Amino acid sequence: MLKLLVRDFRVVRWDLWLHAVMAIPASRHAQALFVVGVALAIVLVVAVPGLEWMFDTDRFVCSLPVSRATLVLGRYLSAFVAVALSLAVWMGSAALLSRRFAGADPNLSQWVSLDGAVAYCVILTLVVALFLPCYFRYGLGKGAAVFAVGVMALGGVLAGLRWIVRAALGNVAPDLTAVDLDAARTLARFIWIAIVAAIATGSAALSVRFHRRREF
């Protein structure tokens, strides 16, 4: 699997430089820097499948002495390492720019925190967990379209759920006086991480199943 990881980063090593370069103009607005960081990480995650699609290398890759399951898990590993690397570059550039760059948004330092990192990882892990099964089932072109429709559908479902919860609990004012906010925050982080890890695991299992069924 490590070989697959090395291969992927040999193929798309240019993207990490983009992070650092794009961080400077984006740092004028903290949220913009966050969005740019997430977007470039997505580019990094999608870059190798994109190149494989563009150059039609599926047959070449699948003729290497690697099992389909390893190929899929290797792609997940690459995606998560890409997320971790992007996070490191993003956090590093945000921390550096908030201190050294006069034009940087003063709120920038708020994003350089555990919560900022969790938010970054949660978003990207969800993207990876939703995108890769679509890619392994349908290939890049159709897979990206299915992914986009899926994201929109999921957004609709979540918005609907939010509306229902608000409608149901609208008049209930939560009494937070008895809640230890630090403990609640920590618990919320763990719950988020557990949910996202479960989704990622399910996603990987689904991708392996899909890829085994594909013929080249």
Partner 1 sequence: MDTTLELKGVSKRYEDFSLSDVSFSLPRGYIMGLIGPNGAGKTTLVKLILNLVRRDGGEILAFGKDVRDDEIAVRSRIGFVHEAPTFYDHLSVERLASVVAPFYASWDAALFHRLARQFELPLKKVAWRLSRGTRTKLALALALAHRAELLVLDEPTSGLDPVFRRELLDHLLACIEDGRTSVLFSTHITSDLDRVADYVTFIQKGRILFSSPKDTLQERWAVVKGGPELLTDELRRLLRGVEVGEFGFTALTDDVDAVRRRLGRLPVVIEQASFEDVMVHLR
The yes or no reply on residue 62 touching partner 1 (CB under 8 A) is yes
| CB of 108 vs partner 1, minimal distance in Å | 35
Which residue has tokens 């003729």? 63
Nearer to partner 1 by C-beta: 98 or 207? Answer: 207
DSSP-derived secondary structure for 4-45: HHHHHHHHSTHHHHHHHHHHHHHTTSHHHHHHHHHHHHHHHH
Judged by CB under 8 A, the residue of 21, 64, 145, 179 near partner 1 is 64
Inter-residue contact 115 to 189 (CB < 8 Å): yes
Span from 31-39, 53-61, 88-96, 191-199 in contact with partner 1 (CB under 8 A): 53-61
The yes or no reply on residue 17 touching partner 1 (CB under 8 A) is no
Buried b (16+ CB within 10 A) or exposed e, 71-83: bbbbbbbbbbebb
Nearer to partner 1 by C-beta: 47 or 124? Answer: 47
| CB of 58 vs partner 1, minimal distance in Å | 8
Inter-residue contact 66 to 75 (CB < 8 Å): no
Inter-residue contact 23 to 36 (CB < 8 Å): yes
| CB of 216 vs partner 1, minimal distance in Å | 5
Inter-residue contact 136 to 205 (CB < 8 Å): no
What region does 48 belong to: left with phi over 0, alpha with psi -120 to 50, or beta? alpha
Nearer to partner 1 by C-beta: 6 or 195? Answer: 6
The yes or no reply on residue 57 touching partner 1 (CB under 8 A) is yes
The yes or no reply on residue 146 touching partner 1 (CB under 8 A) is no
Nearer to partner 1 by C-beta: 59 or 166? Answer: 59
Q: Any residues with CB less than 8 A from the CB of 50 and at least 6 apart, and which?
A: 140
Q: How far apart are CA 14 and CA 12, in angstroms?
A: 5
Judged by CB under 8 A, the residue of 25, 31, 67, 154 near partner 1 is 67
Judged by CB under 8 A, the residue of 17, 35, 60, 154 near partner 1 is 60
Span from 60-68, 82-90, 103-111, 173-181 in contact with partner 1 (CB under 8 A): 60-68
Which residue has tokens 């990881």? 5
Q: Which residues bind partner 1 (CB under 8 A)?
A: 3, 6-7, 10-11, 51-52, 55-57, 59-60, 62-67, 215-216
